[in-house]
Structure 1
Amino acid sequence: MNMKGGVHIWLIRHGETEWSKSGQHTGTTNVPLTDDGRKQAAALVPILAAQTFDLVLTSPMDRAIETCRLAGLGDRAQIEPKLHEWNYGVFEGRKTADIRKEIPDWSVWTSPIPEGESLADVGKRAQALIDKLLATGATNIALFSHAHFSRVFGAQWATGAASLGAHLAMDTAAMSVLGFERDVRAIIKWNLLP
């Protein structure tokens, strides 16, 4: 099935949590939205309500599910396990600056992640989801996820190289749109705030 040109994938990062605010790596820990995070999510309503989505998927983490609900799409959302955040293993809950006191030049993008996922692992997961989405025939898709996973997903979509995600910043409750420029996969919009 050739859906090129008509596919738009909206990547929506969850609203603020205490850990996203402090810079702690939040992969497998279920940290709730802050009051500001709930306000950020609700601010998405007018933009997302103006779209017609064929498919709405959310990470199984509470912060993504709650963002989806407050953004007005919770009643249509399906849980998609592949949308979960990077598993940071032994670095879960830690800040990069603190990790670098022990491991100079540490980066989630280039360093080993003991008991967690490598960049290659996250890239494969993102590619598997891209393949699954393109096979559905849906043309306007909303994905509620997390910063690092969304950055890898966007990079994987545009270039097939997950490492490009290191150069794609994403704020809490930000929206990005992926699609096609003619027949080439492209990042249409990135890191838009309501």
Structure 2
Amino acid sequence: MSDDYAGTPRVFIARHGETAWSKLGLYTGSSSISLLPEGENQVSTIAKAFVGAGKLLDPSSLARAFVSPLNRAKQTFGLLLPRDALSEERISYTKDLMEWDYGDYEGKTRDEVLKMRADTGLPAYPEWSVWRDGCEGGEYVLAFARSLCCGYWLSLTLFSTHRSKDQITERLDRIIKEIRDIQCPLMNGGEPADVLLVAHGLILRCLAKRWVGYEIDANVRMQLRPGALAVLSYDAKDINKPCLDLGLALPPA
């Protein structure tokens, strides 16, 4: 590990372990579902390998933790860190990290969503997307409608009453600002400056995009599997150069 990298503050993002719904490929948003035993084992295995003194995620280097208030995230956090690793005042359970609201599609598979949309007369593209098409009864980005007027088709943009892309971006940017306010004065080390986020697949992928300046609906394909741990950081110890830290490098012995 180079001197330029050593001591640079990091942000660890951890997706909750496997649940019954994630195992079956069901959309899981605001439902507070518990981990399966194998999900608990996933997280415990990650913790044993990567969390601890002198390991990738050293609790003594943590300044703060931000956790979704949903049960599967809180369980994961409890399994990932030793109970006394952080004092209560350094742990925030925040709705800003809650998962996307899938509305009527909650607990459904993609095929079931496509059928529901077709049955109600909504477009059912094979590549249905929450960004383009939204979720009935849940979150929308924009809704589009067309009407015939004086022989011409007019396209109207209708803003949903549900939380929009801009609102989700706002809550993610709020988290990012808080993280950077913590880490900015500590870019050269000296005090614990790492941050841990424990939340959900879609919202954490959106946060990773915002971290490096992309819109949350940018066509950047990412995977963050149940129980996975990823790292965000900065290039050249520069707060203005946030980056995705590809690959897990262990501290030097």
**TM-score under structure 2 length normalisation:** 0.68
Partner of 1:65: 74
The one of 16, 31, 34 aligned to 2:18? 16
Matches within 5 A, 1:59-98: 59-75=68-84, 76=86, 77-98=91-112
Q: For the Cα contact (< 8 Å) 1:13–1:64, is it kept in 2? A: yes
Partner of 1:139: 193
Q: Does 1:48 align with 2:51?
A: yes
Q: Distance in 1 between matches of 2:22 and 2:75?
A: 15
The one of 164, 168, 173 aligned to 2:227? 173
CA deviations on 1:35-84 (whole Å, 9 max, x unpaired) are: 10000111122312231211112110110111111112455343122111
SS at match of 1:16: coil
- Whose radius of gyration is greater, 1 or 2? 2
Q: Which runs of 5+ in 1 are unaligned?
A: none
Change (3 A) 1:165 1:68: farther
Q: Report the identity percentage.
A: 25
Q: For the Cα contact (< 8 Å) 1:151–1:165, is it kept in 2? A: no
Q: Which moved more, 1:63-72 or 1:45-54?
A: 45-54
Q: For the Cα contact (< 8 Å) 1:155–1:165, is it kept in 2? A: no
Q: What's the C-alpha RMSD, in Å, of the aligned pairs?
A: 2.3
**How far is 1:8 from its partner?**
0.9
Higher percent of residues as helix: 1
Matches within 5 A, 1:114-153: 114-118=136-140, 120=165, 121-137=167-183, 139-153=193-207
Q: Distance in 2 between matches of 1:30 and 1:126?
A: 20
Q: Which runs of 5+ in 2 are unaligned?
A: 1-6, 119-123, 142-164, 184-191, 249-253
Partner of 1:158: 212
Q: Which amino acid aligns with 1:113?
A: C
